[in-house]
Amino acid sequence: MTTLPVPRGPRSRGADKPRKDSAGSADPRIDWRRVVYHALVSRALDDVEEATNRNKTSVPREHVVLYQFSARGHEVAQVILGALINHRHDAASAYYRSRPLLLSLGLTIDDALASPLGRAGGFSDGRDIGVVCNIPNRDGPVVLPMSGDVGSQYTPCAGWAQSIRYHAQTLEEREWDNAIGVVLGGEASVATNGFWSALTIATTLSLPMLFYIEDNGLGISVRGDMQTPGGDITRNLASFQNLFVRNGDGTDPEQTAALLTECVDHVRGGRGPALVRLTVPRLCSHSGPDNQRGYRTEAEISSDTERDPLPRLRSYLVPSRLSDEDWSAIETEVQRDVQAGLDAARARPNPDPSTIARWVYADDTPDSAEAFGGLSRAERSALGGTTSAADGGDVVRFAESVRRTLRRELEVNPKLVVFGEDVGRKGGVHLVTEGLQKQFGADRVFDTSLSEEGIIGRAVGMSIAGLAPVAEIQFRKYADPAAEQLNNCGTLRWRTANRFAAPIVVRMPGGFGEDVGDPWHSLSDEVRFAHAYGWQVAMPSNAADAVGLLRSAMRGANPTVFFEHRSLLMTSDGSARYPGDDFVVPFGSATVLRQGSGVTVVSWSAMVHRCAEAAAGFGDDVVELIDLRTIAPWDHACVLESVRKTGRCVIVHEDSLTAGFGAEIAARVAKDAFWHLDAPVDRVAVENVPMPYHPVLLDAVLPSVEMIAARIEATLRA
């Protein structure tokens, strides 16, 4: 990974020696020449993009920005903030209007212009909107990968802030001391789940995290008083415990500098989180396609224009701190640099379509670059693992096998952390993590606040900070509130063209319980994760595979959903011989549980046991039973080879029939083994109803041994 260049722009002579004069903060961290330079660059970039887009008909199509977002009006405050994000392990989690901040943190003008044009290279290699940026800086502040969803920037930043403490105190890497996480958001974003989830995490744990709210009064067209009553989040948070709150005018350079230094010093000094709201004008439409004339009056637009922070910055600095000539010289330099950047950006080639499938998953070939996030390749290979199960292990329950595997990984990997609701003191509602907090301490095995978005977003931030988070979602259904973070985690490597990755492990109990079900605790719906980009999905049917797959995930480079079926946790069905402390099962390798030449039965998780019972009724060489073990990736080679031999295929799963994962397998078999088929491919699954509570109803919806046997029989006769 190359180190990014330091921001360009003139550095004031003597900027490190504070001068106490009437204009200009005396804080040596704020170099006003650089503030001017970056604020003017940002404005010039918006000018170029907007002018080009306005004259669409007269410029070549490839020079038009397809999705343009301007930061006009937000520049000065952001660039002052950038001057204070200066610790090697600081991170900023930003959003689409944050380009001024990024310029001050090392975004080059070439990249800033080339990416909106969708050119090759840059922070997404043409895969993402140009203002959705990232900076994987290993020697200075990092900009976490942004996302398009408003509010999703908050909880990963809380994860980074918690990791600062973990690195500094638990791992005793003292160079992390006094680092901070800074999250940027507009005033509309304070209405999102992510904002409140991160605020809860940061304040309950007293994390080094600064919330920077830039209030331009509009969320596209909706006014701020729809996002928080009265329209001022700081008034409403005035009594929030453990939060230092400041409010001010983001167009006033002196006030902005004073408020930001006060907040940053508070957070950096270990006194807990802070939130600052700065009012700024939005001197533009929301985005290129938006015509604000429909919802803003001329009077509103012109009153915002009068609050333009750039003339105010000029009159603040000139003549007391900069001369007229100084200012003009910076303007000339900006014009020159932006023109050079534009030429360089336009000269870049388009991205290469043949590479588009790269980076959905990790490429572990030694010559491919390492992404920022997760364990390094060297750390993972030092952990190793064996695919041979140890002989003579004792028979363990599924729950015990997961606990032992977590315990072992906590022992050998100091970067591993285990967390979720009730996971710490209680040991989890399924008792899978029982005793782990006592053994490893509350910094490594901990309870979280009740927010699944917080659990997953925090895990993403921790993973990017180099830790190995293993999060528990208490029941599969309760992953619903985390859908946005889960989806963004899965696309993270791809959309940053391998600059970042967050290989988190998410343990998720679900499916019907022993004799009981209901629509909340018994969902399986694993197909959703198989459909999501970038995820591995493990569906183990027994304790030995659970050990191997969970370890593979924890030592791997891709995010993984690890499904713990409730009916297997404490039953003999789920039990198996413990396969050893270093046992791994590779993803995408099915196991043939029973050989046969009459019909192939494919299943996974709890249904494997019902299939095995049904298969036993057909004599020795009839049913070939395949336990897929993982559905993303899934072992098509094994299934196809078997179907080519048997000519018949029945797929059995607990998830709903319609668009369940069986449909994917059936389609593949129909295409790639068509000429070998002697009967239609059949699927046995729940008939598209939610899981009911009463055992009588539960039995009526779940595929039973008898039902599976009948369908095997019918397929054999067809």
Q: Among 143-151, 466-474, 504-512, 660-668, which window interacts with ligand TPP (CB under 6 A)?
A: 143-151
72-101 residues near ligand TPP, rule: CB under 6 A: 97
Binding mask 445-484 for ligand TPP (x = CB under 6 A): ----------------------------------------
- Closest residue (Cβ) to ligand TPP? 186
Min. distance of Cβ 318 from ligand TPP in angstroms? 29
Taking the complex as a whole, how short is the minimal distance between the CB of residue 16 and ligand TPP, in angstroms? Answer: 33
Catalytic residues: 521
* CA quadruple 206, 210, 216, 220: dihedral sign: negative
- Smaller CB distance to ligand TPP: residue 189 or 279? 189
Count CA atoms within 13 Å of residue 566 on its CB side: 23
Q: Which is nearer to ligand TPP, 67 or 240 (CB)?
A: 67
Tell me if residue 67 falls in helix, strand or coil: coil
What's the burial of 394, exposed, middle or buried (CB within 10 Å: 0-12/13-18/19+)? Answer: exposed
Nearest to 18 by CA among 29, 10, 8, 26: 26
492 close to 502: Cβ distance less than 8 angstroms? yes
DSSP structure string for 667-678:
HHHHHHSGGG-S
Q: What number of other Cβ atoms are within 10 A of residue 588's Cβ? A: 17
> Smaller CB distance to ligand TPP: residue 280 or 459?
280
CA 487 to mean position of chain CA atoms? 7
The verdict on 188 binding ligand TPP (CB under 6 A) reads: yes
Footprint on residues 547-606 left by ligand TPP (CB under 6 A):
none
- Residue 622's identity, in one-letter code, is V
Q: Does 279 bind ligand TPP (CB under 6 A)?
A: no
Strand partners, 557: none
- Count of residues touching ligand TPP (by CB under 6 A): 15
Smallest distance from ligand TPP to CB 189, Å: 4
Both tokens of 345, joined, read 């950006």
Q: Which is nearer to ligand TPP, 12 or 485 (CB)?
A: 485
Tell me if 218 contacts ligand TPP by CB under 6 A.
yes
9 near ligand TPP, judged by CB under 6 A: no
- Residue 304 interacts with ligand TPP (CB under 6 A): yes or no: no
Q: Where does this chain touch ligand TPP (CB under 6 A) — which range of 5-13, 14-22, 98-106, 212-220? A: 212-220
Under the binding rule (CB under 6 A), the answer on residue 46 touching ligand TPP is no
Note whether 132 binds ligand TPP by CB under 6 A.
no
Q: Is 226 in the site for ligand TPP (CB under 6 A)?
A: no
Rank residues 281 and 469 by Cβ distance to ligand TPP and give the closer one: 281
Task: Provide long-range contacts, Cβ within 8 A and 24+ apart, for 231-239.
Answer: 231/187, 232/277, 233/187, 233/190, 233/275, 233/277, 234/275, 234/277, 237/275
Nearer to ligand TPP, 151 or 579 (CB): 151
Handedness of CA 259, 260, 261, 262 (dihedral sign): positive
- Between 140 and 148, CB nearer to ligand TPP: 148
Q: Is 486 among the residues that bind ligand TPP (CB under 6 A)? A: no
DSSP 3-state of 436: helix
Per-residue x/- track, 617-636, ligand TPP (CB under 6 A): --------------------
Residue 434 CB partners (closer than 8 Å, separation 6+): 403, 426, 427, 428
Cα-flanking dihedrals φ and ψ of residue 47, to 5°? -60, -50
Find residue 505's DSSP bridge partners.
Answer: 470, 560
Stretch that binds ligand TPP, among 217-225, 442-450, 518-526, 708-716 (CB under 6 A): 217-225
Q: Which of 8, 10, 7, 6 has the alpha carbon at shortest distance from 322?
A: 10
Rounded Cα distance, 647 and 645, in Å? 6
Residues in region 684-713 near ligand TPP by CB under 6 A? none
Quickly tell me which residue has 């924890």 as its tokens. Answer: 554
Question: Which of these ranges, 214-222, 450-458, 663-671, 678-686, lies near ligand TPP under the rule CB under 6 A?
Answer: 214-222
Between CA 200 and CA 105 the distance in angstroms is 28
Residue 128 sits in the site that holds ligand TPP (CB under 6 A): no
Q: What is the DSSP string of 631-656?
A: EES--HHHHHHHHHHHS-EEEEEEEE
Contact segment (CB under 6 A) with ligand TPP among 211-219, 499-507, 563-571, 579-587 equals: 211-219
219 binding ligand TPP? (CB under 6 A): yes
State the nearest-atom distance from the C-beta of 234 to ligand TPP, in Å: 15
Neighbours of 643 (CB within 10 A): 26
Q: Is residue 216 at the binding interface for ligand TPP, with CB under 6 A as the rule?
A: yes
Q: Which stretch binds ligand TPP (CB under 6 A): 115-123, 185-193, 256-264, 338-346?
A: 185-193
Nearest distance from residue 453's CB to ligand TPP, in Å?
11
What one-character-per-residue DSSP string does 281-341 give?
A: ---S-SSTT--GGGTS-HHHHHHHHTT-HHHHHHHHHTTTTS-HHHHHHHHHHHHHHHHHH
Please report how close the Cβ of residue 228 comes to ligand TPP at its closest, in angstroms.
11
Among 26, 51, 220, 689, binds ligand TPP (CB under 6 A): 220
Contact 222, 133 (CB under 8 A): no
Least distance in angstroms from the C-beta of 52 to ligand TPP: 21
* CA distance from start to end of the chain: 58
Q: How far is the CB of 298 from ligand TPP (least distance, A)?
A: 20
Site for ligand TPP in 316-355 (CB under 6 A): none
Rounded to a whole number of angstroms, the minimum distance from the CB of residue 146 to ligand TPP is: 11
Only segment of 162-170, 216-224, 516-524, 649-657 that touches ligand TPP (CB under 6 A): 216-224
**Which span (179-187, 529-537, 610-618, 675-683) binds ligand TPP, by CB under 6 A?**
179-187
By CB under 6 A, name the one of 148, 231, 414, 617 that touches ligand TPP. 148
Residues 6+ apart with CB under 8 A from 394: 577, 578
Near ligand TPP by CB under 6 A, which window of 149-157, 176-184, 394-402, 661-669? 149-157
Choosing from 124, 189, 437, 463, the residue that interacts with ligand TPP (CB under 6 A) is 189
Residue 71 has, within 13 A of its CA and on its CB side, a CA count of 32
Q: Which of 216, 214, 142 is nearest to 180 (CA)?
A: 142
Between CA 208 and CA 654 the distance in angstroms is 44
CB of 355 to ligand TPP, least distance (A): 27
Tell whether residue 150 is a contact of ligand TPP (CB under 6 A): yes
277 is a site residue for ligand TPP (CB under 6 A):
no
Specify the 3-state DSSP secondary structure of 229. helix
CA distances (Å), origin 294, targets 187, 250, 303: 21, 26, 17
Query: Which tokens is 430 given?
Result: 């399924």
| Radius of gyration of the chain, Cα coordinates, nearest whole angstrom | 28
Return the number of the residue (235 or 346) whose C-beta is nearest ligand TPP: 235
Instruction: Provide, rounded to whole angstroms, the least separation between the CB of residue 477 and ligand TPP.
Output: 21
Q: Which residues bind ligand TPP (CB under 6 A)?
A: 97, 148-151, 185-189, 216, 218-220, 286
